Structure 1
Amino acid sequence: MTVVRGVRAHLRRRLLVSYRIDPEVARTIVPAPLRPQLVAGQALGGFCVLGLEAIRPRWMPATLGLRSENAAHRMAVEWDANGATHTGVYILERHSTAWHAVLFGGRLFPGVHRRARFTAVESGDRYAMTMDAEDERLAADVEVGGDWQSGLFSTLEAASEFYRSGRIGWSRGTDGIALEAVALAADTWSVEPARIHSVHSSFFESLPAGSAVFDHVVVMRDLPIRMDAPQVSALDREAAASHAR
């Protein structure tokens, strides 16, 4: 994948909405050589909604950067390479309001994106977000704060570390077949607990009844981030390519 390495942005807000997924159902979604990463015997899937600004190559001043709303459906995954097990996420689809991400995603910028319409109502610690695309709809009404509640992670710190370790995201390339990797990282990392007032995902609700159950939501705010094409090993690339053929 030929991309602009070292894309920088400011993360204004990121909602991470997670579901407990039946492992057998998850295995039908995740392509080999990836496999679902299990937590407390369950697969973990979900979607994130990101508000980004100052998006630019690392050599460009932040004042010239672009702004966008974005969403991604994801599954926690693991894979083997060089005698070790690695963790990350498989991204089913990315959607964006940004013309540069839709036109050049997977070519000049990391990750293939599809066009979508977003609405965002933000009031203090409360965020009501919707995304409408040709083949997908999601909505989340989230309020930061409250006690931590999750059937997968006993503490917020455990959930935070899980998300931080899953920095590499695999997704289909522009050919719709080969798997390509993108890494999202932040020099500082802060995750806040939140409670859900309402949630909807046409993708997860289309899975077999009872196989996808909402588990928790966390929020990240006001962080500088970077997106790069990681230096994954040749074994990773060869395995992904061979299974895609």
Structure 2
Amino acid sequence: RAIAGICLIRLEHIRPKYAPEFVGISSENAAHRIAVFWEDENGETKEGVFIPRRDTNSFINHFAGGTLFPGEHYAADFSVTENGREIDFAMRSKDGTIEVKLTGEISKNLPDDSIFSSIAEASTFFEKGSLGYSVTKNGQELDGITLKIENWKVEALNLDSVESNFYKNEGMFPKGSIVFDHALLMRNIAHEWYSAPGFELK
């Protein structure tokens, strides 16, 4: 059994650490990710995520991702409506290959059939996925990036509908192998991103 998902991220005032807030940029982003375990050179088990696909509406993220900072991004159009309790999200990549849609509202509980017993258990699992790797354009390396959050806090999001044609690709995911489990929401979270050591693919 494996756990995969989509991290939908609205970034606001993103800038170098000591730069003033007004120089920061904002963007909508989506990252399809799969939880992974591996052993480092010391034989220690590590946890993180493999990110096969990133999409963004930011010109800077699209052209600088993979060069000025880790992680290449595909250009995409986003439509996001929210009112504090309800969310209506849609994304379509400019190359026409990826589409994500969802609608939902804040909830106090996970679905009854979730593999996680509580919001706290799910939160702990995903907090361990703060280290992410993705294949570079040349296909020879893995770019690494680490997310640092001091005040990690999540809420359950009850989805009325959710769709990603990435996970409907039966060439990668055989029919019936992907089942929706739950959604979580994080709001107004201060965070920092750091480059992580990469890997050479052999």
Q: TM-score range by the shorter chain?
A: over 0.9
Aligned residue in 2 for 1:178: 141
Find the partner of 1:137 among 90, 99, 123: 99
Q: Which has the higher helix share?
A: 1
Amino acid at match of 1:77: V
1:37-56 mapped onto 2 (5 Å cutoff): 42-56=1-15
1:1-245 mapped onto 2 (5 Å cutoff): 42-81=1-40, 82-133=42-93, 134=95, 135-149=97-111, 150-206=113-169, 207-230=173-196, 232=197, 237=198, 240-241=199-200, 244-245=201-202
- Inter-partner Cα distance in structure 2 for 1:103 and 1:83: 36
Amino acid at match of 1:222: N
**Count of matched residue positions in the alignment of Structure 1 and Structure 2:** 195
Shift of 1:140: 1.1
Amino acid at match of 1:65: G
- Inter-partner Cα distance in structure 1 for 2:64 and 2:70: 8
Amino acid at match of 2:116: F
Q: Is the 8 A contact 1:110 1:227 kept in 2?
A: no
Identity %: 34
Compare relative contact order (CA 8 Å, sep 6+) and give the higher one, 1 or 2: 1
- Inter-partner Cα distance in structure 2 for 1:161 and 1:89: 14
Q: Is the 8 A contact 1:44 1:75 kept in 2?
A: yes
| TM-score where L is the length of structure 1 | 0.76
Runs of 4+ in 1 over 4 A off after TM superposition: none
Q: Is the 8 A contact 2:86 2:103 kept in 1?
A: yes
For 1:9-49, what per-residue CA distance to the aligned partner results, in whole angstroms no more than 9, with x for missing partners? xxxxxxxxxxxxxxxxxxxxxxxxxxxxxxxxx20001111
| TM-score where L is the length of structure 2 | 0.92
Amino acid at match of 1:211: S
SS at match of 1:215: coil
Shift of 1:145: 1.3
Shift of 1:214: 0.3
**Structure 2: which 5+ residue stretches go unaligned?**
none
